[in-house]
Structure 1
């Protein structure tokens, strides 16, 4: 099994932005964010997971 590596900075930023938007959509009533809050969290988590699993992403 490969060792996890740190994701590229842009991958980390994208994952964090989607995750934060998902959290905001869960706790605040922002129409588009509230409708897709779980999808936004999922996208952020997947971006971070892929970034740590694959080297150079």
Structure 2
């Protein structure tokens, strides 16, 4: 039922720390729960990795 409501609006966007990680408008479908969890885990790993890199000074 929730999926039907999301599909009818045309928009379903997911962000993590203000970074877009999923767009139904771009992908043309909703992620299943397993896919959604994997997307968020990957984004959190990437974010953690980037935060651990030394920052370049300009």
Both proteins in one fold, TM over 0.5: no
More helix by share: 1
Rg larger for: 2
TM-score range, shorter chain: 0.3 to 0.5
